[in-house]
Amino acid sequence: MLQAHIQQERVHHAYLFTGPPGVGRRTLALRFAQALLCKQPPQPGTMCRQCRSCRYVEATLDTQESLHPDVFVVRPAARAMGLQVDQVREVRQFLTLSPQMSPYRVAVLVGFDRATPAAANALLKTLEEPSERGLLLLTAASSETVLPTVASRCEQVPLRPMDTAALAQALARRFRLEEDRALQVASWAAGRPGYALRLAQDAEAYQRHHRWVTDIPRLLAASRRERFAYAHTLVQTLPRHALDEPLMVWAAFWRDVLHVALDHPLPLFHPGQKRLLDFLALRVPLHQVYDLLHTLHRAMEQLRRYVTPRLLFEGVLLAWPRVRPMLS
């Protein structure tokens, strides 16, 4: 679809890329910008990856920082609640200027579902009166998490997770991972290629995910005070934009509990925890598992609003049952 827009010269002034974190929203947005700005495309809608423009965008993909003079990448600051109105004003100013080396100026707003109400409203003027050579690329969890007046003015590009087995095969080929390790990473990532790549390449990210899973038995047996201490440490050590990661890990885990309880045929996200999943499927009532999943998904939505992260995590962990798994 995106290639066709370039080939037919009907590029929209704004696009909204939606899907779960780690599915590839930002990557696809920047690849689209790369194809749009390429100096010598092999064919319209593709990129050579060799010209100066392509190399600048390629470096942006790797470093998280915008190195192309006509590409502006904006994301929430580490401890900020979300995109701020001053950042949106910078975007507006950037798009009013003439391109330096390309036919367009492209602004990529990462995590726009976390924009403050003032920032979202500030972007409306740009959407309503787009500049001739300015392009907006927004990423968000879903169109429902974005101000309706913003979402309705964007061409929407929904992304969905990959098949776990196909993702595992791709990881094994690219990183020469053993079959079991590739399947574990793909399962943990819940079919999200971006998150799977991070787990495969970043030992620290892999260890964090592993810790959030292996801490579950201890948290289930922990007292209220111990759960509060865990929530405090988690919030202190993770940047604001990464706080949804443990919530997603735990949601995938409790989804596994639900599927074991229902004997569902879908593959598990955490097959290595099968004994614990079996134990909890027998000990935790089905309605409580549903409530826990609802609490976790609501917490992920609330993180995009003005909430205190420590209180949010305390509420999540207090909702968990107190049981002492006997897995030895």
Q: Where are the domains of the chain?
A: 2-158, 202-318
Tokens of 182: 């590739």
Whether 139 contacts 14, CB under 8 Å: no
Tell me what pLDDT residue 303 has: 81
Tell me what pLDDT residue 322 has: 93
CA separation (Å) from 87 to 16, 105, 119, 152? 18, 16, 8, 22
Tell me what pLDDT residue 190 has: 87
CA distance 289 to 291: 5
Tell me what pLDDT residue 79 has: 65
To the question of domain 2-158 being in CATH 3.40.50.300, the answer is: yes
CA distance 47 to 192: 24
Tell me what pLDDT residue 81 has: 67
Closest of 248, 281, 287, 251 to residue 264, by C-alpha: 281
* The pairing of beta strand 134-140 with beta strand 14-18: parallel
* Cα pseudo-dihedral 124, 157, 143, 269, rounded to 10: -150
Tell me what pLDDT residue 328 has: 44
Tell me what pLDDT residue 302 has: 86
Full pLDDT tens readout for the chain, 328 residues: 999 999 998 999 999 999 988 899 999 999 999 999 999 999 989 999 999 999 999 998 877 778 899 999 998 876 666 789 999 999 999 999 999 999 899 999 998 988 888 999 999 988 988 888 899 999 998 998 899 999 999 999 999 998 999 999 999 999 888 999 999 999 999 889 999 999 999 999 999 999 999 999 999 999 999 999 999 999 999 987 788 899 999 999 999 999 999 998 888 999 889 999 999 999 999 999 999 999 999 998 888 776 889 999 999 999 999 998 765 4
202-318, CATH topology level: Zinc Finger, Delta Prime; domain 3 (1.20.272)
Note the pTM of the prediction, 2 decimals. Answer: 0.81
CA separation (Å) from 171 to 64, 167, 191, 247, 270? 22, 6, 11, 24, 17
